[in-house]
Amino acid sequence: MSGEPRHHITEAMFVEYVADTLDMADRRKIEAHLMTCESCRQTVSEWRQIASAARTGKPSLPPLNWRLIKGDDPMIIERPMTAMPRQPVAVRRFNFAFPMTFAALAIAAVTLFSLMGGPSGEDGNFGMVGQNQQNDEATATPLTPLMTPTPTAAEPIVFPTATPLVLELPPTIVAPDDIPLMTPTPALSILLTPQPLDPYNMVNQPEYMVIVVAAAADIAQGSVIKPEDLTLYAIDERFVPENLRITPDALIYRIARVNLACGQILMPNMVAENAHDITPDAADFTLSENCAAVKKSHVQAQIPFQYNTVRYYITDVSHPAVYYTRELPAGHTITADDVTVRNVPVPELIPSGAATSLDAVIGQTLTTPVIEGQAAIVE
Amino acid sequence: MADLSDLALIRRIAARDEAALETLYQRYGGELLGTLNILLRDPLASEDALQMVMMAVWQNAHTFRGESAVTTWLHAIARRQAMSANRKTRDIQPMPDEDLLTADAPEAEADGHDALHAAMRHLPEMERLALDLVYNHELTLAQAAERLGIPVNTVKSRLSRARTALRRWLKHEENDYVR
């Protein structure tokens, strides 16, 4: 090891030698070299001094503050936004060519997806996951329906009109000429803000916003969706799944297939092109009160967009729920590919009884058909 | 739980496993707190920031795509959190002058170990972070580079530069090696 090993030893090795993180072979090599090299001894000496000054000791760890981490700490919820977008995202009014991604995120939720079930909706068993068709409460871990049947829900459904809904647009609503009614949803790209909102704070500020379409008001099943019924949410790009994409023009002047709750993020399968596609909802509901509460508790700021109405900036996205990733028939045993966990920005939009972990759902057998984007309900 | 890989812990955290977050915290909380202490220069603020970092981990674990090491991700969150906290307090507490290394700071008048320690506070942050990771948390340079999200050769050159910058405070004395 004598001779001229100088060139085999870098300063980095001295750093690690002093830190004692070298392996034995390298240690031996350095020690042998130091025997013969005065200048390297000086280097090591200097690194020992630096190391001694740098060694302030490991700080003792405080216990985790679970209230804060889980968002239960009101300090966090009420903390004002520190940086809002400084400039509105350029969105051309009524030129729906702007790139848009659609989130399947906060889907569905309070709304029933009885689209596949047809008449099965009448017994209130939509979207139900269970181990038997009878929903026998005595069996192990019986799973409950999406919406627990109530006396109201159990009553025969009275669809608003016995005849098919009028398909023509109401005279007060005129579709702009440049919006073809039946445009297929264009290929999607993600709309990013020109600059990250605040790249240094992952806790409160999304790096990128993705615009998703949501209901600005309750939209009754069967009604024509007007531009003013829609709003856009800006959601952290990281929380937006990629499998569902939509633009407002895929929704405007379409017909709501199901009751749409204020604040709900809309998916393509929630609208129909004509009323014949609509299966009556089993339960009617209104979220008018909830809408205000949702905005108050979860929407931290408004973004002045140029599109038709106010956009909300949702930062609280920590509510997990299990959703189906595809259409599944009744009797299907759920596999890991059939479900996914999504974080929903607004907990009110998660149906009660929705599974929060995949383990609760995988292996269970569906008692009713389900569709993509529907929440998996278990007890 | 303690023998699980970092990635396995993150996956469990994404599935809302509290014990997994505790394990990750015990595993890396110390070095994260060290990093925050250096960046924030305030132990209390650092502890608060550390909680915020763990909150970010808890809330965003499901978004971790495994494209970087878990430690790279954790430290990136910590650095972001520190920068954010610093921005909020910058109006109140001016940051120390970073040019003191080349100026005749009062600290330079002090002697020996204390002077060196004081001088180190004026090293660039990246170099101070690297020194902390290597000498307080016993990481190799490769591991430190992973934490800092920079190539290991950059860490080496930064540390070499740090020693050069500190040379003025280093004693040139005969060491105890046997010839």
pLDDT attached to residue A164: 29
Smallest Cβ distance to B60: which of A34, A55, A238?
A238
Q: Measure in Å the smallest separation between the Cα of A98 and chain B Cα atoms.
A: 26
C-alpha dist (Å) from residue B41 to A45, A212, A373, B121? 28, 40, 47, 10
Distance CA A287, CA A348 (A): 10
One-letter amino acid of A172? T
**Is-contact A125 A135, C-beta < 8 A?**
yes
Chain A residue with minimum CA distance to B177: A35
pLDDT attached to residue A242: 45
Query: Is A332 in the B-facing interface, judged by CB distances under 8 Å?
Result: no
pLDDT attached to residue A3: 44
Query: Is B29 in the A-facing interface, judged by CB distances under 8 Å?
Result: yes
Regarding an ipTM greater than 0.90, the answer is: no
* Burial zone of A90 (CB within 10 Å; 0-12 exposed, 13-18 middle, 19+ buried): exposed
Q: What is the distance in angstroms between the CA of the first residue and the CA of the last residue of chain B? A: 49
Q: Which residues of A touch B50 (CB under 8 A)?
A: 61-62
**Is-contact A147 A154, C-beta < 8 A?**
no
Phi, psi angle pair for B144, to nearest 5°: -65, -40
A55/B135 Cβ within 8 A: yes
Q: Categorize the per-residue pLDDT at A275 as very low, low, confident or very high, splitting at 50, 70 and 90.
A: low
Mean pLDDT of A77-86: 33
Helix or strand holding residue B48 (H, E): helix B43-60
Interface test with A, best of B32, B136, B153, B161 (most A CBs within 10 A): B136
Residue B94 has pLDDT above 80, yes or no: no
Residue A185 has pLDDT above 70, yes or no: no
Using DSSP bridges, classify how beta strands A311-314 and A209-215 pair: parallel, antiparallel or unpaired: unpaired
B173/A45 Cβ within 8 A: yes
Residue A181 has pLDDT above 50, yes or no: no
C-alpha dist (Å) from residue A51 to A14, B83, B131? 11, 26, 8
Q: Which residues of A touch B83 (CB under 8 A)?
A: 200-201
More confident of the two residues A69 and A290: A69
Q: Which residues pair with A340 in a beta bridge?
A: A323
Out of A47-51, A109-113, A157-161, which region has the weakest mean confidence (pLDDT)?
A109-113
A19/B83 Cβ within 8 A: no
Tokens 């004598």: give the residue. Answer: A2
Q: Measure in Å the smallest separation between the Cα of B93 and chain A Cα atoms.
A: 18
Out of A250-259, B2-11, B68-77, B87-96, which region has the weakest mean confidence (pLDDT)?
B87-96
Instruction: Give SS3 for A321.
Output: strand
Out of B21-35, B86-100, B153-167, which region has the weakest mean confidence (pLDDT)?
B86-100
The proportion of chain A whose per-residue pLDDT surpasses 70, expressed as a percent, equals 37
Instruction: Give SS3 for A235.
Output: strand
Query: Is A75 in the B-facing interface, judged by CB distances under 8 Å?
Result: no
What is the CA angle B61-B63-B68, rounded to 5?
90
Using DSSP bridges, classify how beta strands A230-236 and A311-314 pair: parallel, antiparallel or unpaired: parallel
pLDDT attached to residue A67: 83
pLDDT digits (tens, 9 = 90+) for A349-376: 566 678 888 888 888 888 877 777 777 8
Average pLDDT, chain B: 81
Out of A294-298, A318-322, B40-44, which region has the weakest mean confidence (pLDDT)?
A294-298
More confident of the two residues A353 and A322: A322
Mean pLDDT of A158-162: 34
**Is-contact B25 B61, C-beta < 8 A?**
no
* Burial zone of A151 (CB within 10 Å; 0-12 exposed, 13-18 middle, 19+ buried): exposed
R_g of chain B computed on alpha carbons = 18
Q: Categorize the per-residue pLDDT at A66 as very low, low, confident or very high, splitting at 50, 70 and 90.
A: confident
C-alpha dist (Å) from residue A145 to A119, A130, A282, B179? 15, 9, 12, 82
pLDDT digits (tens, 9 = 90+) for A90-125: 332 222 322 332 333 233 222 223 233 333 333 333
Sign (positive or negative) of CA dihedral B3, B5, B8, B12:
positive
Task: Specify the DSSP class assigned to residue A59.
Answer: P
Distance CA A199, CA A220 (A): 40
Distance CA A15, CA A43 (A): 9
Mean pLDDT of A31-46: 89
pLDDT digits (tens, 9 = 90+) for A326-337: 888 888 899 988
Task: Specify the DSSP class assigned to residue A377.
Answer: B
pLDDT attached to residue A263: 63
Mean pLDDT of A137-143: 39
Interface test with B, best of A35, A69, A73, A75 (most B CBs within 10 A): A69
pLDDT attached to residue B45: 87
pLDDT attached to residue A130: 39
Residue B26 has pLDDT above 90, yes or no: yes
- Displacement of CA A323 from its chain's centroid (Å): 11
Q: Categorize the per-residue pLDDT at A210 as very low, low, confident or very high, splitting at 50, 70 and 90.
A: low
More confident of the two residues A285 and B148: B148
Distance CA B97, CA B39 (A): 14
Query: Is B166 in the A-facing interface, judged by CB distances under 8 Å?
Result: yes
* Burial zone of A371 (CB within 10 Å; 0-12 exposed, 13-18 middle, 19+ buried): buried
CB pairs under 8 A between A and B: 162
Query: Is B65 in the A-facing interface, judged by CB distances under 8 Å?
Result: no
Which tokens in the block code for residue A173?
């609503």
